[in-house]
Amino acid sequence: MSTGASNPVAVSDVVIVGGGIMGTSCALFLRRRGLTVTLVEQGLVGQQASGTNFGNVRRQGRPLMQLPLANRAIANWRRMKELVGCDVEYLQVGHVRVCYRDRPELVDELERYAREARTYDLELDVLTGAAMRRQFPYLGKEVLAASFSRNDGHANPRLVSPAFARAAQRAGAAVFEHTRIVNVEKDGTDFRVTSEDGRVFRAPVLAITAGAWGNRLSAQFGEPVDLTARGPTMCVSEPVPYSIYPSTGVFTPLEQETVYFRQIPRGNVIIGGGTRGPAYPDLCRAYVRPENTLRQLGQIQRLAPSLGRLNIIRVWSGIEGYTPDGQAVLGASEQVSGLFYGFGFSGSGFQVGPGVGETLAELIHTGTTAIPLEAYRMSRFAGSPAGMRREGLAR
Amino acid sequence: MVEPRVVVVGAGPAGVRCAEALASAGIRPTLVDENRRDGGQIYRRQPENFARSYAKLYGTEASRAAAIHSSFEKLRGQIDYLPQTLVWNIEGRNLYLVRDARHITLTFDALVLATGATDRLMPVKGWNLSGTYSLGGAQVALKSQACAIGADVVFAGTGALLYLVAAQYQRAGARVRAVLDTAPWSDRVGALRDLFAVPATLLKGLLLTFALRRAGVPVYTGIEPLEIVGTGAKGVSGISFKDSRGRTVDMECDAVALGYHLRPETQLADLARCEFYFDPATRQWLPQVDPDGRSSVAGVYLTGDGARVRGAAAAEKSGELAALAVLQDLGRAPDLDAMRALRRSLETFDHFARGLNQAFPWPSGQAARLSDDTIVCRCESVSVGELRQVVQQAGARESNRAKAFSRVGMGRCQGRYCGHAAAEIIAHAANVPIEKVGRLRAQAPVKPLHIATVQNADEARSNASVEGVR
Amino acid sequence: MGGRFVRVGEAGRRVITLSVDGKPIQAYEGDTLLVAILTSIGNLRTSEFGDGLRAGFCLMSACQDCWVWTTHGERLRACSTVLTEGMTVSTQQPEGTWSNLE
């Protein structure tokens, strides 16, 4: 593997490695700030977690510390057409999370979260009994309470990252797909980013937004993260009359019970959640386990029994990167100046994506941001035996 | 010694001969089939209370059909037969089935996929109108339900099946308005040498054409379909096409049967992670298979039209050969001479299949000439123009990427009827060789899976509480 | 139009009645649901996406174009469903209330 010619393919203010929603939105926001940008992606933009996730665009249920970022993001979701120039099927039709009768204590948790979230401008209504049944007539008998976030919604993940990438390109960003980065290093004041086929990209700033592959790059700067790759269990029904508007899911401590669904105007019902499946970043493949689909479909009938009438026509998965504490690594590296991170969103990155991109761009451009990023520091993993045992780090 | 568990999927000619050969060797295979009765498509059986004779139903193939059905009857006691059972997924050595609204898992030591084929379609404007059927569909209506798809039927497309079904309709007393073959007569002449590999079949084909003409059915060759005319409310009312001299011809009809050969049903092979390769002769992706039927995955065998479309007679031999390969790989010495003879005989069918492809080629060039407002994906009503747009404006140059952006292939049929044409359209719009466009990756379930079937809410609740808190 | 399919044989079978869009129609024992419907009327369902009526396509459980709604809100694939006495189907999409808990 050559370390690259002395004539790099591209020199820019910023190189971004990883073309999911984080990287593509960051590219657009950097261009809007007048910085030159090169975005490199190993496959096609938005092909992994950003394109295969459930599509929830919701703040409800996020740990409170994520809400400033989520609020920034929602402002961008609401103006997506203006930002990227096309429809990404964002619908602000609300988000519902329910708890079951067998865990009545969860109603208190829903109500407590609703109170606390108010300080972050998230308005939630917790409904039970007849009022709940009237507003959400599709919920199963086991459902005890429903917390409704009227200003949340959903969008089509397949369209979003490619839309950001095209908008960034129209704004002057250079986007290279089928460009897998194998080596990153700082060479004087510049970062030198080398692809598998020997092309070199240089910039004084490097942003690593490479999802489940993020740690392979961060480790090269001595900042490994214990990332686990997992695949969401997804399926979709045939199209049926559009009648369920909010995205709906179960609030429960059990992973198997944590299922959710959303119907789109075309009529298909998308189902996600439950047990995740195996994902293979080396192969860029993730597989849905049939047992997981079966369990998921059993659980979805508890949440909304009428879905039992429908047929599912397709399952799919993708590759998501999970950190040990389920929070992303986001912000400036404390070890290497000019190095920024935005990966490890642990299956919850879609909604915050446009906020992450905007925040990273702001941070890169001005050196500061109003969004509190302490909880996302890479250095919280320093000193853990993280790097040593992860496969894919040793090369 | 533990009995090996062998599962055969598909009770058509390949699956039946495979199960028969396994049973003869002392193995009790499980034979799974989606239909209510055995026979597959070509030897599809009519309902029990129907009275038509085999000669009436199967014509020149009557004795073969009778032999297959009778072999199956004799086999019943030696196999575990699961009819009306869908294999919807596979993981490692586990098969996932659904039957009678219940979920079944089968573990296998060897799996033989004899999943058959369906029609290969090239869209034409208006093919989404009610009254348009595949050639296979038109044949099923007649063979297994004693119905014609309309009062005045046009048969269009190419291939041996085109003439066969039209002749069957004509013989059954249905009105065949015309037969429209996209293949020019010269292609057929050019393929004669390979077609002579199985002279009996060649002769049957020529006789069919002759019989149609003698009955006064207009037969056009070298045509290009332009439009199936009609309305969304009333369906098909006619067809418009260019004849071999380039003149536009308009015909009235109330049904069109359309098809261009067959394409193997390979979804289970794909889910089993079998390797595929691109076949330039037919411009499609096919699962890799050795001459005996071994796929690239140990323990998984592919046979009959579900592996390579070579017809029913070949399927019988292919099924038997696959059984012998299973036995060989299980360490039970099969008759090697028999295997050699079967392989040789299958080579003959390969020649004939090549000849058919040459005589009746897939009309790949039509894709580029389809109007933007032609529907390519019937399930999702996506037009050719919308597909071209995602290639040209969104940069999608590969089948799965184009599917993600345009929804082509996302419908209930999961790309069975649009996938090949979509690849041609993408290749042309992106100006890349069709091989580079790839193929639609199969995703489970192989056919729509009823949600309430698989695990009901009570099971789900009790399973969840057993799991414990995270 | 009346029926789309034309019977060319197998007369004399036992008559079975079904209901389509509230109207009784007659068919025969041994018919699939698809044939039972299409020998009386011209279509099975309405396309979800505005391009008109559909009447099946492949008749061999491959195209999935013949799924119909029963009046109880259940789904049946018409070409592979054997007709039984008293089936009630609708060629129209059900109302949005299909999703309500009964």
Domains of chain C listed by start with CATH number: 15-92 (3.10.20.440)
Whether residue B100 is contained in a domain is answered as yes
Suggest the residue from A48, A175, A311 to mutate for an interface test with chain B (most B CBs closer than 10 A). A311
Return the closest-CA partner of residue B269 out of B87, B31, B82. Answer: B87
User: Is residue B457 assigned to a domain?
Assistant: no
Nearest CA in chain A to B456: A298
Q: Going edge to edge, which strands form the sheet with A124-128? A: A124-128, A143-149, A95-100, A247-250, A259-263, A269-273, A234-237, A311-316, B449-450
Closest chain A CA to residue B272:
A287
Instruction: Report yes or no: A243 at the C interface, CB cutoff 8 Å.
Output: yes
User: Which chain A positions have a beta carbon within 8 Å of B449's beta carbon?
Assistant: 311-313
Same domain flag for B18 and B102: yes
Nearest alpha-carbon partner for A277 in A291, A289, A295: A289
Q: Are residues B114 and B125 in the same domain?
A: no
Q: Which residues pair with B132 in a beta bridge?
A: B256
Does residue B361 lie in a domain region? no
What residues in B contact A310, CB-CB < 8 Å?
450-451
How far away is chain A from the Cα of C35, in angstroms, using its nearest Cα? 23
**Binding-site residues on chain C for chain B (CB distance < 8 A):** 1, 4-10, 13-14, 29-32, 35, 38-39, 42-43, 47-65, 67, 75, 77, 79-80, 82
Establish whether the linkage from the previous residue to B123 is cis, with ω within 30° of 0: no
The enclosing domain of B57 has a CATH number of: 3.50.50.60
pLDDT for A297 beyond 50: yes
Q: What is the DSSP letter of C32?
A: B
Query: Taking residues B252-259, what's their average pLDDT?
Result: 98
Residue A394 has pLDDT above 60, yes or no: no
User: In this structure, what DSSP letter does residue B294 have?
Assistant: B
Residue B192 has pLDDT above 90, yes or no: no
Last residue of a domain, one of B324, B356, B388: B356
Are B327 and B25 in contact by the 8 Å Cβ rule? The answer is yes
Whole-structure pTM value: 0.96
User: Domain check: are B425 and B407 in the same one?
Assistant: yes
Question: Would you say A161 and A80 are in contact if contact means Cβ atoms under 8 Å apart?
Answer: no
Say yes or no for a CB contact (<8 Å) between B463 and A256. Answer: yes
- Same domain? For B15 and B114 the reply is yes
Instruction: Answer yes or no: do B136 and B246 share one domain.
Output: yes
- Give chain C positions within 8 Å (CB) of A243: 95-99
Q: CB of C69 within 8 A of CB of C46?
A: no
* B114 lies in the same domain as B127: no
Among A9-13, A303-307, A365-369, name the one with the lowest average pLDDT.
A9-13
> What is the rounded distance in angstroms from the CA atom of residue B44 to the CA atom of residue B52?
13
Q: Do C62 and B413 touch (CB under 8 A)?
A: yes
In this structure, the answer to whether residues B129 and B238 fall within a common structural domain is yes
The count of domains in chain B is 3
Instruction: Report the distance separating Cα A61 and Cα A98, nearest Å.
Output: 11
Domain range for residue B133?
A: 121-260
Determine the average pLDDT of the residues in C87-99.
92
Q: How far does the CA of residue A310 sit from the closest CA of chain C (Å)?
A: 7
Q: In which band, very low, low, confident or very high, does the pLDDT at B333 lie, cut at 50, 70 and 90?
A: confident
Res C46 pLDDT > 60: yes
Instruction: Please indicate if any CB of chain C lies within 8 Å of the CB of A204.
Output: no
What residues of A are in the B interface, CB distance below 8 Å?
Answer: 44, 51, 102, 140, 142, 158-159, 162, 166, 237-238, 253-257, 287-290, 293-295, 297-302, 305, 307-316
Structural tokens at position C4? 């789309």
Mean pLDDT for the stretch of residues B443-461: 82
pLDDT reported for residue A390: 42
Average pLDDT over residues B57-81: 96
Both B192 and B94 in one domain: the answer is no
Q: Is residue B450 part of a domain?
A: no
Average per-residue pLDDT for chain B:
95
Give the pLDDT confidence score for residue B454 in this predicted structure. Answer: 58
Question: What's the rounded mean pLDDT across residues B94-123?
Answer: 96
For residue range B382-420, list pLDDT tens digits in order.
999 999 999 999 999 999 999 999 999 999 999 999 999
| Domain termination residue (choose one: B322, B356, B390) | B356
CA of B47, closest CA in chain C: separation in Å?
6
pLDDT confidence band for B456 (50 / 70 / 90): low
- More confident: A6 or B242: B242
B201 versus A302: the higher-pLDDT residue is A302
Quick check: A393 pLDDT over 50?
Answer: no
User: Is the pLDDT assigned to residue C92 strictly greater than 70?
Assistant: yes
Residue B110 is assigned to a structural domain of this protein: yes
Same domain, B214 and B167: yes
pLDDT for B146 beyond 70 = yes
* Residue B449 is assigned to a structural domain of this protein: no
Query: B234, B260, B286: which is the final residue of a domain?
Result: B260
Task: Give residue B457's pLDDT.
Answer: 59
Instruction: Based on the fold, state whether residues B215 and B131 are members of the same structural domain.
Output: yes
Domains and CATH numbers, chain A: 10-51+158-226+324-393 (3.50.50.60), 95-149+233-317 (3.30.9.10)
Inspect the interface and report whether the beta carbons of B454 and A142 lie closer than 8 Å.
Answer: no
Q: Report the pLDDT value the prediction gives residue A1, as an integer from 0 to 100.
A: 36
* B156 and B238 both lie in a single domain: yes
Q: Find which of A301, A303, A306, A317 to mutate to test the B interface (most B CBs within 10 Å of its CB).
A: A301
Residue B463 lies in a domain: no
- What is the count of residue pairs from A and C with beta carbons less than 8 Å apart? 49
Closest CB to C55 among B131, B146, B450: B131
State the DSSP code for A308.
G
Q: Which residues of B touch C27 (CB under 8 A)?
A: none
Residue B453 lies in a domain: no
The pLDDT tens digits for A205-249 are 999 999 999 999 999 999 999 999 999 999 999 999 999 999 999
- Model pLDDT, residue B1: 59
Query: In this predicted structure, what is the pLDDT of residue A21?
Result: 98
Smallest Cβ–Cβ distance between A244 and the set C48, C74, C99 belongs to C99
Nearest C-alpha of chain A: how many angstroms from C32?
A: 20
- Torsions phi, psi of C3, nearest 5? -70, 155
Per-residue pLDDT band for A385 (boundaries 50, 70, 90) equals low
Please tell me which residue of chain B has the smallest CA distance to C12: B50
The band of B468, judged by pLDDT with boundaries at 50, 70 and 90, is very low
Contact partners, residue A132, CB within 8 Å, separation at least 6: A139, A143, A145, A146
CB contact under 8 A, C62 and B416: yes
Nearest to A306 among C49, C95, C101 (CB): C101
CB-count burial class (<10 Å; 0-12, 13-18, 19+) for A109: middle
Of A2-11, A143-152, A361-370, B295-304, give the lowest mean pLDDT range. A2-11
Residues B311-331 have a mean pLDDT of 97
Same domain, B221 and B292: no
Q: What percent of chain B has pLDDT over 90?
A: 89
